[in-house]
Structure 1
Amino acid sequence: MKGRCKEEICEEPSVDDPDVISLLIKLPCGTRFNRRFNKHHSVKELHDYVYAQDEAPRRYQIFTSFPRSPISGCSTDEVCSSKTLPLLKEAGLNKNDTLFVQSVDDDSTEETSDCDSDR
């Protein structure tokens, strides 16, 4: 599944693109990634980029740093269950933001595998 996400990730936009946002993404294990996204793309692109990382948890929610709040539509559960997700610009992300990935406890692996098969 992670391999498929890696293949489907859109090309990183140029730093000169006026619609670009640069994000510093921090995983629970301490790994950090810098990545540019087009603000007119869905939060699913952000979610899938994180999911494709080897160190990423299987289920998670992504939060803004300040004020700390979840990004709407950008949890594993929301991406798997919703057909319409907000754009990155609608999620309130700015030119340069820091995001935190928080693992979601998974009591049922059946739930996650059902989600993976739909993606």
Structure 2
Amino acid sequence: MEFIRAYEEKYSREHPVFYQGTFAQVLNDAKRELRFLLIYLHDADAPDTELFCKDTLSNREVVRYINQNFLFWGCSSKSDEGRRTLNAVKANYYPFLGVLVLKDNRMTIVGRLEGHTDPGLLVQRLTSVVNEFEINLVSARADRFEASINRSLRSQQDEAFMESLRADQEKERRREEQRMAKEAEKRMLEEEARAEEERRQSIAREKIDSISRVPSEPEAAHPDAVHVVFKLPCGSRLERRFLKTHSLERVLKCRPENAEIIETLEEAGLKNREVLFVNDLDA
């Protein structure tokens, strides 16, 4: 910064470490870091300035104490930044030193030294201010620590809640999957039951239809009567009489397209008394 360069050229390179930035920046950093802020307003034309800079600010004990306990910021009172700072701290005499600390959550000036001060007295007065207002920083650090702990606890609680929520959602997802799987299985079983019922009803209708198509049995003494004995897979025999002119139904789907169709029992070679063997092809 221009002020630091000019200061070192005119007075000494031995001085507390100047903060390189604006007054607003150093205020924010002191507040964030919870440190004391020492500001120096410089007026090169003030009668005590040269002695203060060469004798007091270059003193090793002063340099050590300020570097150890403060952020140190300075500027010329004749610069734009200096005039803004002057209005903020209400400096009346130069050289001006002001001590600021966080108080009621804002940086507040709690000590001021105006005019020349010898090194020993400066350290003594700064120490007095630090001792008096250190409690503000201690309290602020405690508040921040407590706030940090509370944020950490809330974060952990939020994480625990989210973990519990995710677990509940996963359980609900699994229950929904199981419910849907059971419903799908139930629908499949219902469909199978309906299909089986339709098959049974179809068979029953076919049986009824088949019975309705069976002609009346002729008298045993009828000259055109054909006695047919069905030998069933269970070994029982079923005997029935048909007329020679009755049709013989065949399983048309099993025959070749060009197969000769036998229309009657007579054409099938059945005469007075015949035996038909009925085999269960599915057995």
TM-score of the superposed pair, with normalisation by structure 1: 0.52
Task: Quote the offset at 1:35 in angstroms.
Answer: 0.3
Q: Aligned residue for 1:104?
A: 281
Q: Equivalent residue of 2:263, what SS?
A: coil
Q: Equivalent residue of 2:235, what SS?
A: coil
Task: Quote the offset at 1:93 in angstroms.
Answer: 0.8
Q: Equivalent residue of 2:267, what SS?
A: helix
Aligned length: 76
Q: Aligned residue for 1:27?
A: 232
Q: Which amino acid is 1:89 matched to?
A: E
How is 1:1-119 mapped onto 2 (pairs within 5 angstroms)?
1-44=206-249, 74-75=250-251, 77-78=253-254, 85-105=262-282
Deviations 1:10-54, CA, capped at 9 Å, x for gaps: 10011121111101111112221110001111112xxxxxxxxxx
Deviations 1:37-83, CA, capped at 9 Å, x for gaps: 01111112xxxxxxxxxxxxxxxxxxxxxxxxxxxxx447458x89x
Q: Greater strand percent: which structure?
A: 1
Q: 1:75 to 1:30 in 2, by over 3 A?
A: farther
- Return the index of the structure with the highest Cα Rg: 2
Task: Quote the offset at 1:101 in angstroms.
Answer: 0.8
Q: 1:13 to 1:85 in 2, by over 3 A?
A: same
Q: Aligned residue for 2:14?
A: none
Return the alpha-carbon distance in structure 2 between the equivalents of residues 43 and 27 of structure 1. Answer: 18
Q: Equivalent residue of 1:7, what SS?
A: helix
Return the alpha-carbon distance in structure 1 between the equivalents of residues 214 and 235 of structure 2. Answer: 22
Q: Equivalent residue of 1:21, what SS?
A: strand
Return the alpha-carbon distance in structure 1 between the equivalents of residues 253 and 222 of structure 2. Answer: 31
Return the alpha-carbon distance in structure 2 between the equivalents of residues 2 and 33 of structure 1. Answer: 17
Q: Which amino acid is 1:34 matched to?
A: E
Q: Equivalent residue of 2:211, what SS?
A: helix
User: Could you say which structure has the greater relative contact order, defined with CA pairs below 8 angstroms and 6 or more residues apart?
Assistant: 1
Q: 1:28 to 1:76 in 2, by over 3 A?
A: farther
Unaligned 5+ runs, structure 2: 1-205
Q: Equivalent residue of 2:278, what SS?
A: strand
Return the alpha-carbon distance in structure 1 between the equivalents of residues 282 and 218 of structure 2. Answer: 33
Unaligned 5+ runs, structure 1: 45-73, 107-119
Return the alpha-carbon distance in structure 2 between the equivalents of residues 90 and 75 of structure 1. Answer: 16
Q: Which amino acid is 2:234 matched to?
A: C
